[in-house]
Structure 1
Amino acid sequence: MDSPRRALYPGSFNPIHYGHLDIARRALGLFDELVIAIYVSPTKPDLFDIEERLTLVKESFKDEPRVRVASYSKLTVDYAHDVNATAIVRGLRVFSDFELEFRMALANRRLAPDIEIVNFIAAEEHIHISSSTIREIASLGGDVSTMTPAHVVTALKRRFAELKQQGSGSSFVVSLAD
């Protein structure tokens, strides 16, 4: 029996949004299994800690048995080997994404020529969505319900209320004016 075609979809998912969900669902059209891998960066402050991000992503895919959610903190290609993935899935929204993804794909190809890189062009209705945009809007009390699932909206409201009580929170957003 052939082994399942398994792909790795890495990212920070901070927070997960409809663009991520779209890319994952489309990847499931090509692969039997998808490992959504949340990268834990030792140097980057995250709005949600790794346990919260794991919970949010798992909730987003609770009805999809072909999706497994995990975290990792090593080279993506090494983690892809660890989970027996034959491909790495990434999404592209705008031209600047392409440049970064192109360089990462070349580097990953050099490190692990046995792993394919599969890029999906974002669906038109999701091109404007990014985690940083969602964080910015949510930090200012704006409605992000058209960009991310309800359980994520609830988590964002809770987190920004906590940060406001603590007198912090601006380090997790990027100005929309930039």
Structure 2
Amino acid sequence: MRALYPGSFDPLTNGHMDLIERALSLFGEVIVAVLRNPNKRPTFSIEQRITQIHASTRHLSGIEIINFEGLTVNCAKTHRADLILRGLRAMSDFEYELQIAHTNSSLEDSLETVFMTTSARHSFLSSSVVKEVARFGGAIEHMVPSEVAFDLNRLFNSAFLPT
């Protein structure tokens, strides 16, 4: 089975990695689909995010990393995905994710959405939290893959240089 795991991944967190690795054991193939959203200003370019994901998943097989724009269901059809994978960290995610799943189902009723909860040790992680901690010089090495931590520290390091 091929699972499509869409998201902005700005940046990729250990919570994302947890879902990717567990989904691989369940489905065999995971397409990590990096969303190019013209309405947002990401911290990292689409190319940087794809490079970070490639570096962070190089030890895994069965991974395909793509970028897409537009509807997730169209991306899933184009890449012959059998299902859409969505992660849940907390109950607060469920209402939004259920709405998205129902919308996708209304557009393509043959495509199922599968929800996976992230491991408890990663449930506090979000890309926004990681960026905020990095911005103020906090330790992020336990929150993101080492390649991502390097890029974030390099990006935000200048904020703590003497003026």
Deviations 1:39-83 (A, max 9, x none): 000010000000000000111111212001110002000000000
Is the aligned partner of 1:22 residue 2:18?
A: yes
Which of the residues 120, 124, 133 maps onto 1:124? Answer: 120
- Contact 2:52-2:148 at 8 Å conserved across structures: yes
In the TM superposition, residue 142 of structure 1 has moved relative to its aligned partner by 0.5
Q: What's the TM-score once normalised by structure 1's chain length?
A: 0.87
Corresponding residue SS for 2:116 = strand
Q: Identify unmatched segments of 5+ residues in structure 1.
A: 166-178
Which residue matches 1:137? Answer: 133
- Calculate the TM-score normalised by the size of structure 2: 0.95
What is the aligned residue count?
Answer: 160
Please, which of 99, 103, 123 is the counterpart of residue 103 of structure 1? Answer: 99
CA RMSD of aligned residues (A): 1.2
What amino acid is the match of 2:41? P
1:62 aligned onto 2:83? no
Q: Does residue 52 in structure 1 map to residue 48 in structure 2?
A: yes
Identity over aligned residues, as a percent?
A: 38
SS at match of 1:84: coil
Amino acid at match of 2:143: M
Q: Which moved more, 1:56-65 or 1:135-144?
A: 56-65
Number of the residue aligned with 1:173: none
Q: Which runs of 4+ in 1 moved over 4 A?
A: none
Alignment-derived partner of residue 92 in structure 1: 88
- 2:22 and 2:153 map into 1 onto residues whose CA distance is 29
Q: In structure 2, what is the Cα distance between the partners aligned to 1:64 and 1:50?
A: 21
Q: CA deviation at 1:96?
A: 1.6
1:148 corresponding residue in structure 2: 144
Q: Which amino acid aligns with 1:140?
A: F
- 1:10 counterpart = 2:10: no
Distance 1:26 1:139 in 2: 30
Q: SS of the counterpart of 2:26?
A: coil
